[in-house]
Amino acid sequence: MKRRHLIAVATALVLSGALISPAQSFNFTFPKAPSYGYTIEETLPNYSDSISQIIGATIPMKSNNYKGENRLCSSIEDSHCEGVTDLIAKLILPPCATDSDRTCIESLELGSKDNMVKASLDHVAATPGTPASTKFALPAGGSMSLWKSTNVKTTDRTSTFGVGVQVQYYQQRSSGSQREVVLKASEYGNVILQGFRAVVMPINMVSGNFSLLENYETIDANLDGHFNTGTRFKDPNYDNVGDCAWTESKLCAKYSDFIPGTRVALTLRLGNDVTGWLFGRMQRIDVSLKPLDSKFNVIRIEGDSVDIPSASGFILKSDLPKYPAIDKIARGNYYEGDGFYEKFLADPNSSANGGQPSGGFDSFLAWEPFLKPTELRNSRWVISGGANSNGYVAGLNSACTSDKTKLNGVVTTNAMIYEPGPPTFTGDSLSYKVAGLHSLADGSTFSGTYDLSMRKTVAQCLYKFSDAPLKAVVAVTSQDGSSQDITTEALSEKDGWLHLGAYNFHFSQPTIRIKLTQEKSATIATPTPATPSPNTPTPPAGNAAPANSSPGNQTAPKSTSITCVKGKTVKKVTAAKPVCPAGYKKK
């Protein structure tokens, strides 16, 4: 089996706004003529993403003469960063050490559906962190952590797993930024959560010539002597780090793979600004959320790891005019108008861009005829938050999800390409689009998975349902409009959350539709009182019937109600002597 993180030759990666930069793994065999390639992979944290950092940036309005600068801030209140227009904090969350800790990793569990066992914290990498700020409500930045399982192993037969949780915050400090359209003037100085991503990684710690990573600042001659920042290894002599999730002194946290069927549960303490919808790479999910206090929640997300397909393809640079959609992508990636696109065309070397699975439909459509599945195995367990520059998006554009203090739902799939937003609610269905290649590298058909968990209150609001049990109808429609035969997981409810799954559907661009229905509680009418016989005297109006009246003069016996269930269907039966209908059991 080929390993995951081979270093591609002559590969230029475009990150397209990724929160965590790729550790790409494609080994292109380029033709002799200069070519342009494209890769799709659900990336894992690269070693350069394993360090917390706070960067103050001066970002002028875009021009061909870009003269911005970046400053390394020791904290968000560092005087060295006074006067910057923007501040970005990329923080790695530490494990929780005490009950009072917030914005941290509470626990990691591994196992199977019926046997989840807590892993123990082995150690935290000694990479420098960043301090918390009470003034700006910014949490402390920590380092990557290694956990040890007693019941689960990796494909390398180790029992160690890495946890990397990155949160990104943004602060706009003045109107001088090119991002000034992001915030109102009254909001300058607010620290806003922009992104969240948690990854659990099978890890094999290997020895070698490795060292810790550090942030640094330099004077950049190319920027008229302005400050610029970067990351580097403390020891400039080091072994190949392309397969390292992070490095330590003499150690590389080398990526391994999950054994198929491994189930993972991660519990985090996060601020209640983690709202809207989360997106993940796992299946058969179980979500719970409990308030910790007025500002923080405990979120637990459980699911099976999944293999995410990857693909690559290329065309000759000279053929770009034949394919306008691909040429448009290249012009965007190489900044047409600043001369870079022309330099890219003239460069005798081949190059490739990395595609983003989240929302990469246009690029996938353009490249699909040239893409081939890779032979790499990419087992993943990832959960992330979709955010725009103003913070988290509630989703669905509905009053039912307008409360920005609540987490509304979680969507997970193993599709190569997926929507970076929640399902859309159109008519009476929740729809979600995915895309990918039909086959794997061995020629077998790829089977898709999709899981949806959402607050029951959101579903009830969208459909105007009562508290009665719900049912779901799931349909997967191919691009040509035909229906697919799929496997579904019955709608279930737990702790106020609804969950269902759709599995074994195929590609390249199916649409998954979910329609929720509700069967009203049935009521059996109360029998009407017996009609008095003609020979029975009628009591005077306003008088009660005599105690010794015959049965024909009495009102019907007092009714009682019972609840009957049949699967998820509930009926309420009201009668003098209520009995459940055939097939139902008394609750």
pLDDT in tens, 404-421: 667 888 999 999 999 877
pLDDT band at residue 568 using 50, 70 and 90 as cut-offs: low
pLDDT exceeds 50 at position 378: yes
Residues counted in the chain: 587
pLDDT score recorded for residue 544: 36
Going by pLDDT thresholds of 50, 70 and 90, the confidence category of residue 565 is low
pLDDT in the model for residue 436: 93
Distance in angstroms (rounded) separating the CA atoms of residues 274 and 582: 48
Which range is most confident: 138-147, 175-184, 394-403? 138-147
Run of H or E residues at 579: none
Query: Which is more confident, 155 or 44?
Result: 155
Token pair 């189930």: residue: 263
Cβ atoms 279, 418 nearer than 8 A: yes
SS3 state of residue 540: coil
Asked if 422 contacts 277 with a C-beta cutoff of 8 angstroms, the reply is yes
Burial class (CB in 10 A: 0-12, 13-18, 19+), 319: middle
Per residue in 2-21, pLDDT (tens digit) is 333 222 222 222 222 233 33
Q: How far apart are CA 416 and CA 434, in angstroms?
A: 8
Contact 299, 292 (CB under 8 A): no
Q: Is the pLDDT of residue 153 over 60?
A: yes
Tell me the per-residue pLDDT of 284-321, one tens digit each, with 9 for 90 and over.
999 988 999 988 999 999 999 999 999 999 999 999 99
CA distances from 314 to 38, 186, 262, 330, 367 (A): 6, 48, 35, 12, 8
Nearest to 567, CA basis, from 585, 542, 541: 585
pLDDT of residue 332: 84
| Integer angstrom CA distances of residue 289 from 195, 326, 396 | 19, 43, 20
156 or 426, which is more confident? Answer: 156
pLDDT, greater one: 270 or 463: 270
User: To which residue do tokens 């086959």 refer?
Assistant: 439
Structure tokens at 432: 């979600």
**Mean residue pLDDT across the chain:** 79
Among 57-66, 352-361, 465-474, the least confident range: 57-66
Alpha-carbon gap, residue 18 to 354, rounded angstroms? 11
Per-residue model confidence (pLDDT) at position 209: 94
Residue 394 is predicted with a pLDDT of: 43
Q: What is the pLDDT of residue 529?
A: 44
For 93-118, the pLDDT digits (tens) are 999 999 999 999 999 999 998 899 99
Least confident of 300-309, 368-377, 444-453, 540-549: 540-549
Measured between alpha carbons, how far is residue 224 from residues 61, 220, 228, 431, 524 in Å?
A: 17, 7, 11, 51, 84
Distances (CA, A) of 105 to 216, 527, 544, 546: 27, 60, 71, 74
> Nearest Cα to 91, choosing from 43, 127, 139, 150?
139
pLDDT at site 41: 87
Name the band, by pLDDT with cuts 50, 70 and 90, for residue 180: very low
In this structure, what DSSP letter does residue 31 have? -
CB-based contacts of 569: which residues, under 8 Å, 6+ apart? 469, 519, 584
Q: What is the pLDDT of residue 226?
A: 77
Lowest mean pLDDT, pick from 141-145, 214-218, 224-228, 377-381: 224-228
Average pLDDT over every residue of 331-345: 80
Query: Considering the entire predicted model, what is its pTM?
Result: 0.78
**Residues 123-127: what's their mean pLDDT?**
95
* Per-residue pLDDT tens over the stretch 189-204: 788 888 889 999 999 9
Least confident of 164-178, 444-458, 476-490: 164-178
Q: How high is the pLDDT of residue 3?
A: 33
Measure the CA–CA gap between 168 and 165, rounded to whole angstroms: 10
Q: Could you give the residue ranges of the DSSP H alpha helices within 334-373?
A: 340-346, 361-367
> What does the block give as tokens for 369?
């005829």
Predicted pLDDT of residue 304: 96
The CA-atom distances, in angstroms, between 409 and each of 423, 475, 509 are: 10, 20, 23
Separation between Cα atoms, residue 198 and residue 385, nearest integer Å: 9
Show the CA angle centred on residue 305, arms to residues 14 and 258, nearest 5°: 90
Q: How far apart are CA 103 and CA 292, in angstroms?
A: 11
Q: Distance between CA 177 and CA 84 in Å, rounded?
A: 9
Determine how many CB atoms are found less than 10 A away from the CB of residue 523.
11
If one compares 335 and 522, the residue with the highest pLDDT of the two is 335
Chain-centroid distance of CA 222 in Å reads 38
Distance CA 265, CA 546 (A): 70
